[in-house]
Structure 1
Amino acid sequence: MHLPPLDVAVYPVVTMSHGRHGGRSTRAPSVVSNTSSSSSASSTTCVSPDFSSIQKVIRNVFRSPRITIQQVERLQGHLHQVYISRLADGSSLCLKCPPSYNTRLMRHEKHGLETERKTLEFLHEYTSLPVPQLIKYDSHGGSFGSAFLLMTLIPGRRLSDLSSHISSSQKAAIDRTLGAYVRNLSALSATQFGPTHRVFAKKGNSSWREAFLALLESSLRDAEDMLVTVPYDSVRYYIGKHSHLLDEVTEPRLVSFDVCEPDNVMLDEATKQVTGLVGFSNVVWGDPLMSGGIADGSDAFFEGFGQCPTRSGGTKARLLMYTAYRAVVRIVAHHYRPHSDTDELDARRELTYALNDLAQM
């Protein structure tokens, strides 16, 4: 299948603000044996922790040497290392560690654990949304050797695992619930724009235009680092041309890019109802139109969301800019991690269509 022609001319590069700034898998989870040998790890990336080190960190967190872990499963298909620990008392915990040492990260992915920690704390303080309860966050890991998040486990199975067993009416109910959740998320506000770790450190941006252009530029720099072929000049020119429309966004709202991803939506296996949401490592404060689920939401989704964004004027231009940004991120992610499930051709097609539409506005 061929890409549509890029019917735009290449114009001089528009100078933008520079920023420093996260696939679905059907593989079965791997089981970490309690006879594994221990390994060393760094505070930013780590090798896979073994059974005994996971049991040790959980015992230290709860300050009880009597806690016994019966099994540890690693969930595949995640950027971070995610482990489900089954305890002898029947309860389960989720341990999230940095990506393995040989995983190359894009700029916006380097603060994933810190972002998730701050987002979960914020959500528990200001909402009643069904998200994991943060038990412990350690940015250094101590004797564990790696940063980690320890959280409660949301019951159920991932939407990605059950999608083939869901009826159209059940899918509509799920979409309606997700729309309501996204509405609740995007109702939360902050005092600055930009990535969560910067906003909570009071180092965010005063305008959404500045914050978004920094996000875009960081993804383009990621592409340049890997010599990825993308229409850099066209992306910068046409988004720069319409960037004044970003000033229509005057209040920073919580934007969770991955909130509606099938891997991050947990369902009751029997009723197919949503039991909770996971995966808050890719969150910024900005325009609610950029939230996960908005770009391709169904009628049921927007029924739950409360409204369907108009596809005209400044709103249309903003949606197209966000489509272009997401497409660039997907293209670059494919080159950083070629074995992921990213459809590069589809992302390039979306980027081309978005730029063509921006060129005609």
Structure 2
Amino acid sequence: MTMSSRTAVLRRAHLTPLMYSLPVKRLKEILIQILPSLTLGPVEEIPSTQLARLYSLTMSDDRKLLLSLAPSLAVRLLRHEATMLSSEAALIGFITGRDPLDTRPSTPEEPQACSKERADLIALVPKLIRHSTNNREMAYPYSIFDGTAGEPLSSVSIYLNIPEHKAIDRQVGSMVRAMASMTSLSGTFGTANLVLPEQLTSGVNTKSLSRGAETWSEGFSLLLEGALRDGEDVAILMPYETIRAQYQRLSHHLDSVLHPRLLVLDAGSSSNILIQRALKTSTSTSASDSPSPHTVSPIKPATRLAGLRSWSQGVFGDPLLSSCFEDPSEAFLEGWRDGGEDVIEDQENAEVRLMLYRLFRGVVGVVMEYVRPQGDSSRKELEARRRLTSALAELERVETLKRVRSGSMKDEEAKRRKTERVDKGSVREKDK
């Protein structure tokens, strides 16, 4: 039968209606161009909560590749998700210093003239083999990576002990700090797809090609306004005018962020964090260094951060916008501080900015659960609405405190002037 012959390389255990839409024949032709000496073997769909459709490709030499395919047209995307695969490819190219559209085979021997901090970050980024936005090739944009190790933290979290959780948090803090040390080549703010040009040329300032914003308040406004319009498009009930009014009142605090630093919005999401657990065997020996037949060798898992499943939500702006700073653990902050001097600007008003970022995440949470409902979306949407309401209340209190403080200062100034007038009057009476 034509369908069965076309999908012969697919393992039956993972066959789903979605798998039949994967053009395997065309995929084989693309892989021959990339790896001419190898052929495609079994293909497995990887269960994931990510928007991109993920497939594990096993080559004839047992090498593993990862195919990331853009979501089906039936999946409604938010505005900041519209160019997710291109944004991811551009961001990986920016971090590694390699043009994402360069189809030449990469050579691992090429020297990387970079700091240890950046080298450690590059080690956490998946190796991009090919990226294409040409819909004629696979019907959807796609990216092919070298096989990435690790599994989502959300799926193994219950098996980790407290020290392992702390170790992962500390490593995530170091990764986020390493990203924050990188600033946009153009000096502009906004999402990666706007700030980074389509083709990255190493060492060349490409500000003329950037569509980013000149200030962080403008860059963040594009994100927030995009989320609000996503909600208005499908008539979701939210206090749109109140949200916009609160942002307008306090947006000037964002202008104190002068350096567009790299961050990933969902870098703190347990479903996006990949970890790897390697088993280490500890063997006890006797005095003669010969293992005792009665000695039990305990197996200790060594847990480490393997990177992120998706790098598509890159933004150049205030690092505090990352979800990592929603409720950071002490271990995360330790990893962040170990990266060197603090790069957070205008720390005096950082809490106000964090409130605005919580407002943004609340809006995105409500809209996302509405436009892409899952089994527990009702509960998640309710939680997002509570966070949104709480953020609005916090912002309102900031305004109230400012008015109270301003009024108190005016009262004190009036009292001081009145006292000065009384003192001056007393002095004049004595002179008389």
Q: TM-score scaled by structure 2? A: 0.70
Structure 2 vs 1, CA of residues 308 and 186 (structure 1 numbering), >3 Å: closer, same or farther? closer
Kindly indicate whether residue 162 of structure 2 is the aligned counterpart of residue 154 of structure 1: no
Q: CA deviation at 1:258?
A: 1.4
Root-mean-square deviation (Å): 2.3
Amino acid at match of 2:272: N
1:180 and 2:174 are equivalent in the alignment: yes
Task: Tell me which of 370, 391, 397 is aligned to 1:354.
Answer: 391
Higher helix fraction (1 or 2): 2
Distance 1:236 1:333 in 2: 19
Identity %: 31
Q: 1:312 to 1:198 in 2, by over 3 A?
A: closer
Q: Which residue of 1 aligns with 2:206?
A: none
The Cα shift of 1:141 comes to 4.4
**Which one of 312, 322, 344 corresponds to residue 281 of structure 1?**
312
The one-letter amino acid paired with 1:150 is: I
Question: CA–CA distance in 1 between the matches of 2:91 and 2:9?
Answer: 35
Which residue in the other structure is 1:69 paired with? 41
Task: Give the Cα separation in 2 of the matches to 1:148 and 1:102.
Answer: 17
Q: Is the 8 A contact 2:355 2:395 kept in 1?
A: yes
Q: Residues 178 and 188 from structure 1, CA distance in 2 versus in 1: closer, same or farther, beyond 3 angstroms? A: same
> Contact (CA 8 Å) 1:188, 1:254: kept in 2 or not?
yes
In structure 1, stretches of 5+ residues that fail to align are 1-31, 37-45
Aligned twin of 1:318? 353
Asked if 1:305 corresponds to 2:336, the answer is: yes
After TM superposition, give the deviation of residue 308 of structure 1 in Å.
Answer: 11
Aligned pairs, how many?
A: 320
- Offset at 1:54? 3.1
Equivalent AA in structure 1 for residue 21 of structure 2: S
Deviations 1:40-87 (A, max 9, x none): xxxxxx9831444433332233234x4132232233322111111122
Pair 80,72 (structure 1): closer, same or farther in 2 beyond 3 Å: same
Matched with 2:255 is 247
Alpha-carbon distance, 1:293 to partner = 0.8
Residue of structure 2 in register with 1:5 after alignment: none
Alignment of 1:102 with 2:96, yes or no, is: no
SS for the counterpart of 2:277 is coil
2:303 is matched with 272
Contact 1:131 1:154 in 2 (8 A): no
Q: Deviation of residue 313 (structure 1)?
A: 4.6
Shift of the alpha carbon at 1:153?
2.1
Paired with 2:26 and 2:159, the residues of 1 have a C-alpha distance of 37
Match of 1:170 in 2: 164
Report the CA distance between 1:262 and its aligned residue.
Answer: 1.7
Distance verdict in 2 for CA 1:320–1:47, change over 3 Å: farther
Q: Residues 1-361 of structure 1 correspond to what in structure 2 (within 5 A)? A: 33-34=7-8, 48-64=21-37, 66-125=38-97, 127-128=118-119, 129=121, 130-190=124-184, 191-201=187-197, 202-270=210-278, 271-306=302-337, 313-339=348-374, 343-361=380-398
Which one is further off, 275-284 or 228-237?
A: 275-284
- Please state whether the residue corresponding to 1:250 is helix, strand or coil: coil
Q: Which amino acid aligns with 1:332?
A: V
Letter in 1 for 2:328: G
Q: 2 CA distance for matches of 1:305 and 1:209?
A: 24
Q: How far did 1:142 drift?
A: 3.8
How far the C-alpha of 1:33 sits from its partner, in A, is 4.7
Q: CA deviation at 1:346?
A: 1.2
Residues 327 and 348, structure 1, Cα contact 8 Å, conserved in 2: yes
Instruction: Rate the CA distance shift 1:135–1:94 in 2: closer, same or farther, 3 A.
Output: same
One-letter amino acid of the structure 2 residue matched with residue 291 of structure 1: S
Change (3 A) 1:340 1:187: farther
